């Protein structure tokens, strides 16, 4: 069994500890990936803090994984040793339901997608995620990272990138569309870059103006503070599409008022508490409230290729394994510019 060094949290809200885990020898259609970088997604934090219900501990989170192929199974055709690859939020699905067959594995109706961590894999064991030095994954759930992308900057694309790319494409972000991105954290900053690259007119709605310069650099044409009540008066009926990446409860009525007639508010944030709204906020303007979950494998590859073509990566802060616990607090405080990525070369060699 290949061994990996990992960082695990033993219980909800406990500090991360260095540990050793076992990975599978790659089966016939699997690849063993040497992980170089793993992003810290706010979903890792919701999970590790039991904000979405009881998680399975010890927990090794991580679903923004970039590295190189170290070994391949006998029937692997898509990858060779040395290839630059990524692994995202899920590592398997039923492969037979209409969603899997149409490349929408993230909505698998035949039992659901199998999460990269905090889920039971095909081998009947709880999956460990990307805060580790290696992972064994099916070739069909492995992505190719184009040469032009830096691996550290590519890792966050596997969740943050695709989570914004998919709804931007689905709701037609492009020239002539006015798009607002709410919350400029890990997901939000990728939303700004992607929507701008697609040709949309992008506005950032952030709690303050402190990150305004960065937002403009990422491609935003306008930037407003949501802490200023004037923002909601000035921007009334201004957007065709609003995507909220906020990790906390949101005043949906206020944001719906910023849509034009027939506009759509897509909420991709997954706060601990339920959201609520007044029915009139939708009815008065035939507005739509929607959700979206990451993206399928083919669409994730399309997103990576799009990013390479447009020279887009995540803006990252590189940290070591010992920094993960402190990084979680900084993410929750909106104090990250704009995604932490963990350098697994800081983990040290496995013992025994
Ligand atoms: P993040 O880096 O923490 O960014 C969230 C941003 O939301 C913050 O940077 C902040 O932006 C804003 N925010 C935070 N607390 C707020 C509050 N109380 N009021 C208003 N705004 C607030 O997190 P992330 O990794 O981008 O993830 C965001 C959310 O999406 C999480 O809930 C995560 O679980 C979820 N998620 C969903 C999917 C999906 O497929 N649907 C995928 C990945 C993650 P400003 O500082 O600019 O105000
Ligand atoms: Zn994520």
Please list every protein residue whose CB sits less than 6 Å from any atom of ligand 1: 41-43, 46, 159-160, 163, 183-188, 206-207, 245-248, 268-271, 292-294, 331, 334, 336
Q: Is the pLDDT of residue 326 over 50?
A: yes
Grade residue 351 by pLDDT with cuts at 50, 70 and 90.
Answer: low
Q: What local confidence, expressed as pLDDT, does residue 123 receive?
A: 82
Give the per-residue pLDDT at 255: 98
Percentage of the chain lying above the pLDDT 70 cut: 99
Best of 163, 232, 243, 269 to mutate for ligand 1, by most ligand atoms within 8 A of CB?
269
Query: For residue 197, with 0-12 CB atoms within 10 Å meaning exposed, 13-18 middle and 19 or more buried, which class applies?
Result: buried
Ligand closest to the CA atom of residue 46: 1
Choose among 339, 169, 176, 332: nearest CA to 243.
169
Residue owning the nearest CA to atom 30 of ligand 1: 269
> How far does residue 41's CA lie from ligand 2's centre (Å)?
5
pLDDT of residue 349: 78
Q: Which atom of ligand 1 is nearest to the CA of 331?
A: 3
3-state class percentages of the chain: helix first, strand second, coil last, to nearest 5: 30, 25, 45
Q: How many angstroms separate the alpha carbon of residue 298 from the centre of ligand 2?
A: 18
What's the pLDDT score for residue 122?
78
Per-residue confidence band for 262, with pLDDT thresholds at 50, 70 and 90:
very high
Distance from Cα 248 to the centre of ligand 1, integer Å: 7
pLDDT of residue 352: 44
Q: How far apart are CA 24 and CA 2, in angstroms?
A: 6
Residue-wise pLDDT for 113-140, tens only, equals 999 999 998 789 999 999 999 999 999 9
What is the mean predicted confidence (pLDDT) over 78-103? 98
How far is ligand 2, taken at its centre, from the CA of residue 24, in Å?
24
Cβ 336 vs Cβ 186: under 8 Å: yes
* Separation CA 254–CA 101 (nearest Å): 38
CA distances 121 to 94, 125, 129, 135, 265, Å, are: 12, 6, 11, 12, 34
State pLDDT tens for residues 150-196: 999 999 999 999 999 999 999 999 999 999 999 999 999 999 999 99
The band of 319, judged by pLDDT with boundaries at 50, 70 and 90, is very high
Instruction: Give me the residue label for tokens 């692994």.
Output: 87
Q: What is the pLDDT of residue 306?
A: 98
Mean pLDDT on 209-215 = 98
Say if residue 40's pLDDT is above 60.
yes
Q: Which residue is it, tokens 């957007």?
A: 239
Rounded distance between C-alpha atoms, residue 127 and residue 117, angstroms: 5
| pLDDT of amino acid 97 | 98
Instruction: Kindly state the tokens that stand for 58.
Output: 């010890």
Alpha-helix runs per DSSP H in 74-174:
98-101, 151-154, 160-170
User: Regarding beta strands 84-87 and 65-72, do their DSSP bridges make them parallel or antiparallel, or are they unpaired?
Assistant: antiparallel
Among all bound ligands, the one having the nearest atom to the CA of 269 is 1
Which ligand has the shortest distance to the CA of 225? 1
> pTM for the full model?
0.98
Q: What is the CA(168)–ligand 2 centre distance, in A?
A: 17
Q: What is the pLDDT of residue 1?
A: 83
SS (H, E, C) 154-201: HHHHHCHHHHHHHHHHHCCCCCCCEEEEECCCHHHHHHHHHHHHCCCE
- Among 183, 190, 209, 224, say which to mutate for ligand 1: greatest number of ligand atoms within 8 Å of CB: 183
For residue 225, the surrounding DSSP H or E stretch is strand 222-225
- DSSP reduced 3-state for 136: strand
Q: Which atom of ligand 1 is nearest to the CA of 292?
A: 41
Q: Which atom of ligand 1 is nearest to the CA of 40?
A: 25
For residues 257-264, average pLDDT: 98
Q: What percent of the chain has pLDDT over 90?
A: 97
Q: Please tell me whether the peptide bond between 338 and the residue prior to it is cis, using omega within 30 degrees of 0.
A: yes
- From the CA of 183, give the closest atom in ligand 1: 11
What value does the mean pLDDT take over residues 305-309?
98
Q: What are phi and psi of 287, to 5 degrees?
A: -90, 160
Q: Is 77 left (phi over 0), alpha (psi -120 to 50) or beta?
A: alpha
Name the helix (H) or strand (E) containing 74.
none
């Amino acid at each position: 069994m290949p061994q990996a060094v990992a960082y695990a949290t033993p219980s909800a809200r406990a500090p991360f500890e260095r540990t050793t885990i076992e990975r599978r020898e790659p089966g016939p259609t699997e690849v063993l990936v040497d992980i170089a970088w793993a992003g810290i997604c706010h979903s890792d934090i919701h999970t590790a803090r039991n904000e979405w219900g009881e998680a399975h501990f010890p927990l090794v989170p991580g679903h923004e994984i970039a590295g190189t192929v170290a070994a391949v199974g006998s029937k692997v055709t898509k990858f060779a040793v040395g290839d630059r690859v990524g692994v995202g939020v899920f590592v398997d699905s039923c492969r037979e339901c209409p969603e899997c067959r149409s490349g929408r594995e993230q909505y698998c109706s035949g039992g659901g997608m199998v999460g990269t961590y905090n889920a039971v894999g095909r081998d009947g064991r709880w999956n460990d995620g990307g805060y580790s030095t290696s992972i064994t994954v099916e070739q069909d759930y492995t992505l190719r990272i184009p040469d032009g992308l830096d691996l550290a900057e590519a890792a966050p694309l596997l969740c943050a990138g695709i989570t914004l790319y998919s709804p931007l494409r689905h709701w037609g972000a492009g020239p002539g569309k006015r798009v607002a991105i709410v919350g400029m954290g890990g997901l939000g900053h990728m939303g700004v870059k992607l929507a701008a690259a697609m040709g949309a007119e992008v506005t950032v709605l952030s709690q303050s103006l402190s990150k305004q310069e960065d937002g403009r650099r990422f491609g935003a044409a306008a930037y407003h503070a949501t802490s200023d009540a004037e923002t909601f008066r000035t921007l009334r009926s201004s957007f065709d599409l609003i995507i909220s990446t906020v990790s906390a409860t949101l005043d949906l009525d206020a944001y719906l008022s910023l849509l034009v007639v027939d506009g759509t508010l897509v909420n991709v944030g997954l706060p601990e508490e339920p959201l609520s709204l007044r029915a009139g906020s939708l009815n008065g303007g035939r507005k739509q409230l929607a959700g979206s979950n990451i993206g399928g494998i083919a669409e994730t590859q399309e997103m990576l290729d799009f990013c390479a073509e447009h020279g887009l990566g995540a803006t990252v802060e590189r940290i070591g394994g010992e920094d993960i616990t402190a990084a979680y607090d900084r993410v929750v405080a909106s104090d990250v510019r704009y995604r932490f990525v963990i350098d697994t070369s800081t983990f040290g060699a496995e013992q025994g």
